[in-house]
Structure 1
Amino acid sequence: MKLLQSIFGQHRSLVRVVGRRYFAASTNEYAKRNYANNVSEYNTVVGSITSQRRNFLLRDVYEDMMLDGVQPTRDTFHSLIVGTMKGARLQDAFFFKDQMKSMGLIPDVVLYNFLISICGKCKNSDLSIQILEEMKKAEVKPNVQTYICLLHACAAAGRLDRVYAIVRDMTAAGLGLNKFCYAGLITAHKNKAPITNDFNTKVIEFVERSKSWSSVETSSPNAENMMMGVSDEELYNIPTAEYINRRGGFVVRQFTAYHTAFHACAELRNVELMETLLEMLKKEGKTPDVYIVMQIMRCYLHAGDIDRGLKTFEDHMSSGKLPAIELYVTLVEGAMVGHTPKGMQLAQNTLENMTSRNYFLSPKMGNDLLLVASGEKTGGYTTANYIWDLMQARNITPSLPAVQAYYQGLKEREIPEDDPRLLLVSRTYDNLRLRLGPGLGRT
């Protein structure tokens, strides 16, 4: 609970003894320590923790509610399950669902949709089907969002058979397929193992079909989802979900099927299909948004074509369009694939260029790049060192996996044991292991 104290430290510390709390302080002192006193305040705490991406604390907050004798409402459970969805915490989500039912609150269709969405994030299509069956037994009628969530949950696991069965059910029910459905079909083919021989043809077909309007496309967004801060892209696990609220043309929402297709090309290093999609977009008179530019770069870089990946970056930067930091990070990450001398030098130069333009790494970006850079087995380890230094300059404590990888990389080199960098990294690594331990959060 120390993390909760650090977030709401101006309120109270928590003491647990055999499921009860003992307070020797007066009522006034207790009130000062208490970070939430009623269901409304607890709901605010849940929202705050979710926005801070500290989803592993949600169950602790819930347990505090129970110990405080505060009765959670339907809205509380919705907020808790939205938090678990954003953090892909499957076990916690079903714990909250069971707790909700034990209190006589029957989950509604929106909550069931969130649960199916979590299954998609965790690639558990079997469980998503079980949820649909549970809905039927509880006489909760699935809506359009339910079927699209289910489609994407099965697509995440590459279950083409189930995806096409869902499409047939939707068609039989008179529901047209919208851009999110076609995005799901593209994802299903991407995740099918092995990749089918007609993959390129299918992707092009689905992108073309997605351009037509349907009954689903014209339906209104779910108002409750919007109130809960859940976009359609996040609900259906579309690749652009984490960028959807960015401004300046970062994501053009009409390109949903294109986004998924370009992302699939980057993941599969399919340069041929990527270039075909790019030509299709240009023939329509459309300009790639920043997200698509990122995927074009990733596709070239992950396929080992550093020169064209760099040219894509430079062309965008010289065009006067949005110079997002994600483009720098994409170039750095892609250049480090294979840890070639040329790629590592490009990564180093790009980081220096980025820093000179006052772009700074977020904790997630820093951790992701440090993990990749720490895999360098030869060379001077300068890129990993530089990323570490950038994070230190911003007072960012790297994640345990990133520190561990970096520490092991340093240990593999001939560095004196009293080297200041090695000592600092070793101390950080030991502190993180002691503080977090093997039991941090719940899966």
Structure 2
Amino acid sequence: EPNVITYSTLITVCRKGGQLLRAVQVFEEMQAAGVQPNRLTYNTLIGAWRQQGQWEQALEVYDQMRNVGIVPDSITINSLIRGLPGKAAGKGLELLASARSLGVRPIKATYAELLTLCYKEGRWADAWHLYNEMKEIKMRPNVAMYTTMIMVCVKSKEHLRAWEIFDAMRHENVKPTVTTYNALINACANKQHWPSAPRLLQDLLDAGLRPTVVTYSSLVNAYGKGGQWEKAIAVLDDMQAAGVAPNVWTYSSLIRACGHGGEWRTAEKLFSDMQGLGIEPNAVTYNA
């Protein structure tokens, strides 16, 4: 006579083999046989739906789980949040709040997923709340989470908060990555903070990291927004010395910097140089 362990194991095998419909069928057979699914059963089925990108069905299974009185665990919540589409940060935050009200302590990966969702939607206030919540439960963010926090703040023009996160990161001895520095250099793209951009580049180099085309293009953008068109052009020499090829964003930022500085002939030459390198202008270039 099959029991809950037998059925749950079979559902797990079906999930690992990508046999979603068979997993659902086994689940239904289990219920028809009067065998009550347990948390592991529900978690496995939720994971199967998530792997297939069927997040609404995963949520339906979660509702069934709650309706029969089974309390979710951190695995349940993490699986559900990992399955959410790009513009479902609100639903993810709702799931987190629900889990915490039930006494579930989410794992670090859950917060990482939610921070990414908040970044995609530019929800810096929600990301900030998640960051403070992590501090409350003594959960230490990793470098990817700190970087996502900085990116969401920069995206939302909350530059001072981005710097606050960076300071906290260094205080915790979490080493920034190139992506972290790139985001912060983007935060310097204004007349007030542009002098910090080259200092960040130097910090990056001192840390033994290798700048990318995004790093240099962000630096060009910072110089341009700071009204420093000559410094922006000089970045091309730095890129050449480092063996990093400019791209369409680099040249678009350079052309914009020269345009803002009234250097139209220089801008025209850059446009010509760009085409000579086989770099196709885009809408950003033409609007520069």
Aligned to 1:257: 250
Aligned to 1:315: none
Note the C-alpha offset of 1:39: 3.3
Q: Deviation digits for residues 275-294 of structure 1, max 9, x if unmatched?
A: 3322112333x140xxx332
Note the C-alpha offset of 1:171: 4.2
TM-score if structure 1 supplies the norm length?
0.44
* Cα separation, 1, equivalents of 2:137 and 2:201: 36
Aligned to 2:203: 169
Q: Is the 1:151–1:181 Cα contact (8 Å) retained in structure 2?
A: yes
Q: CA RMSD in A?
A: 3.8
Q: How do 1:101-116 and structure 2 match up within 5 A?
A: 101-116=135-150
Aligned to 1:11: 60
Q: Is the 1:274–1:296 Cα contact (8 Å) retained in structure 2?
A: no
Q: Is the 1:123–1:156 Cα contact (8 Å) retained in structure 2?
A: no
* Cα separation, 2, equivalents of 1:28 and 1:171: 52
Structure 2 counterpart SS, 1:11: helix
Note the C-alpha offset of 1:75: 0.6
Matched, 1:205 2:234: yes
Q: Is the 2:220–2:253 Cα contact (8 Å) retained in structure 1?
A: yes
Note the C-alpha offset of 1:176: 5.2
* Cα separation, 1, equivalents of 2:246 and 2:61: 44
Matched, 1:39 2:28: no
Q: Is the 1:88–1:118 Cα contact (8 Å) retained in structure 2?
A: yes
Matched, 1:294 2:283: yes
Structure 1 or 2: more helix by fraction:
2
Q: Is the 1:207–1:258 Cα contact (8 Å) retained in structure 2?
A: no
Aligned to 1:80: 114
Note the C-alpha offset of 1:170: 3.3
* Cα separation, 1, equivalents of 2:78 and 2:264: 47
Q: Is the 1:186–1:260 Cα contact (8 Å) retained in structure 2?
A: yes
Note the C-alpha offset of 1:151: 1.9
Note the C-alpha offset of 1:138: 2.0
Q: How do 1:269-418 and structure 2 match up within 5 A?
A: 274-284=267-277, 286-288=278-280, 292-299=281-288
Q: Deviation digits for residues 393-419 of structure 1, max 9, x if unmatched?
A: xxxxxxxxxxxxxxxxxxxxxxxxxxx
Aligned to 2:12: none
Note the C-alpha offset of 1:64: 1.8
* Cα separation, 2, equivalents of 1:44 and 1:89: 22
Aligned to 1:227: none
* Cα separation, 1, equivalents of 2:161 and 2:270: 34
| Change over 3 Å in CA distance of 1:280–1:61 after alignment to 2 | same
Q: Deviation digits for residues 94-133 of structure 1, max 9, x if unmatched?
A: 2112222322321122211111222221223322222222
* Cα separation, 2, equivalents of 1:264 and 1:135: 32
Q: How do 1:44-63 and structure 2 match up within 5 A?
A: 44-51=79-86, 53-63=87-97
Matched, 1:145 2:179: yes
Note the C-alpha offset of 1:162: 1.5
Q: Deviation digits for residues 151-208 of structure 1, max 9, x if unmatched?
A: 222236751121122233334445554322221222212332xx34xx2x33333245
* Cα separation, 1, equivalents of 2:78 and 2:191: 33
Aligned to 2:43: none
* Cα separation, 1, equivalents of 2:208 and 2:123: 34
Q: Is the 1:266–1:295 Cα contact (8 Å) retained in structure 2?
A: no
* Cα separation, 1, equivalents of 2:65 and 2:254: 59
Q: How do 1:181-220 and structure 2 match up within 5 A?
A: 181-192=215-226, 195-196=227-228, 199=229, 201-213=230-242
Note the C-alpha offset of 1:29: 8.0
Note the C-alpha offset of 1:73: 0.5
Matched, 1:30 2:64: no
Note the C-alpha offset of 1:92: 1.3
Q: Deviation digits for residues 181-239 of structure 1, max 9, x if unmatched?
A: 221222212332xx34xx2x33333245334436xx7xxxxxxxxxxxxxxxxxxxxxx
* Cα separation, 1, equivalents of 2:93 and 2:256: 33
Aligned to 1:411: none
| Change over 3 Å in CA distance of 1:164–1:46 after alignment to 2 | same
Identity of aligned residues (%): 19
TM-score if structure 2 supplies the norm length?
0.64
| Change over 3 Å in CA distance of 1:66–1:265 after alignment to 2 | farther
* Cα separation, 1, equivalents of 2:187 and 2:100: 32
Structure 2 counterpart SS, 1:160: coil
Q: How many residues align?
A: 233
Note the C-alpha offset of 1:76: 0.5
Q: Residue 100 of structure 1 aligns to which amino acid in structure 2?
A: M
Unmatched tracts of structure 1, length 5 or more: 1-6, 15-26, 218-251, 300-443
Structure 1 counterpart SS, 2:242: coil
Structure 2 counterpart SS, 1:133: helix
* Cα separation, 2, equivalents of 1:41 and 1:29: 11
Aligned to 1:95: 129
Structure 1 counterpart SS, 2:282: helix
| Change over 3 Å in CA distance of 1:49–1:128 after alignment to 2 | same
Out of 89-98 and 274-283, give the one that drifted further. Answer: 274-283
